[in-house]
Structure 1
């Protein structure tokens, strides 16, 4: 089989790892945070601005793109990279999670999921084979298996049946993916918060064989303690020489905790969604820019931050444009949040390489515990 991506582990510190995923479209430095470009755009950001924050890879969404503008149209227009003007690596999710959480009148069978679009009610069928076809049309560098993700809490029986179905779909995804030089396929571990089921899932995935492995079915309402409980054992169940991707995570302390437990890649809509709703993530915790305390504050969001929002604008200005519902508000706060997230990733990569990850973590948590600067 032709080699599709290469993962080089550079250093470990405890369970934390740093390395490089080499793809035909460029290197991904790990631990990596992937900004989410749901509909072929990271909302409120230009692609070159996303790159300027330090992001090496973006995530695109199979479910949203298959509905609008359709994968076939994107393929005719040269593929997702050209379509959205991002020439670096792109990972596409399989569509499974969105079908479960967004689609109307869905019907789950062994074949796949029949559903109605949340946009116009049109009927669609998503199967492992169709998901692989869509992701091939999009031209993404890292393709995800089609899986089912049950919402937690769920009964052990429901979680076990769902996991087994996802493993059968994983095999079908691998067969449908075929041999695509320059492109990688990741399997997705399921099993809820049950160690035994996670172990069974990991063994089945390793038996099928993938270029990387994701930990799915977390960050779906189980809480951080339960998530960390799973991450205390789940990453080590997966091959050491392949990237490990935790899907849909998360808040800054979720990300640091996941890396401490052996995770290499993450994605989340949080930094961009928060930016559009007036929430800024800073090294001293969260700032709600809509609060009246910022109206006369000439200081930056974070005096140590080098993003355009902090370098060029005051809290008073950011408060004003948010209150006035000006577009620049979401643009500046999203840029800041994505910059901060990439700063966390860079800090962790350097700390792991220097064997001082524990000290870095302590500094991260103690600074956040200080809370925002005092009002003027």
Structure 2
């Protein structure tokens, strides 16, 4: 298990574009860290820098205590699983999994043993003599993972490995990858733009936006205590409701209802998760429900508070219909953000 340390790591291209602003953080041995953010935020650039596929233009990257800025990718003791599987179509599953070991000069007996072990781990024993074209998308992804496992690396890198799969298979593979990583105990860095993947798989999430890190924390910390408005709006499905709030003598008011106190004096915005609104006959917030979305275990009420669009989550037994409904907010559930900086107060 390897520790990965980023010491003021940055990436600037020759044309002056700063793809990754200098940043410092660490990934602990055996940790499953997920880089998440919208397209173009710098997460894949950061992963490729760890892999040695992208030059580091500032700072130092250490893997297991060794600075690897100038170390060739093949000598970094890493294994990477790609989005497009990167399998050799003319080779069988057996040969695909063992190909990297063969290039290293590993003996045939050791290759056979490692391939068999990986195939057992990934439920691929019945497919070892098939070609990739004869496999489903999920099976191809398992083959790609098998090729990484046999190398016995210090670090796994995953570059959006599930984005080509359908929703049901993606859910299944999320569980399989996380269970496999826990069983092997290998430090792993996983890149995705899907915040549900990040929430369900990560030990810690690194939320990125426009080349910088917005927040690092456990899924619970990132969800319940977002550091910025961007994190609040990006993490969560549906996302946090962000609404203009007013300050009155230190009290924070939302559409006339007092929701907290602050010493802040600037313009503020309140954030409330959909599930933290409560239908309440005595509530002081009046929502106009326009659309109801049935999701089985719960329902989403879409409408407006004042002139602000909001989403409220209720259980499937709640009989709210289209029209006005009174709401309150769970005590302590509202977040407060500075409107100028977007930082949480």
Using the size of structure 2 for normalisation, the TM-score is: 0.36
Structure ID, larger Rg: 2
TM-score (norm 1): 0.34
Q: Which structure's residues are more often strand, by fraction?
A: 2
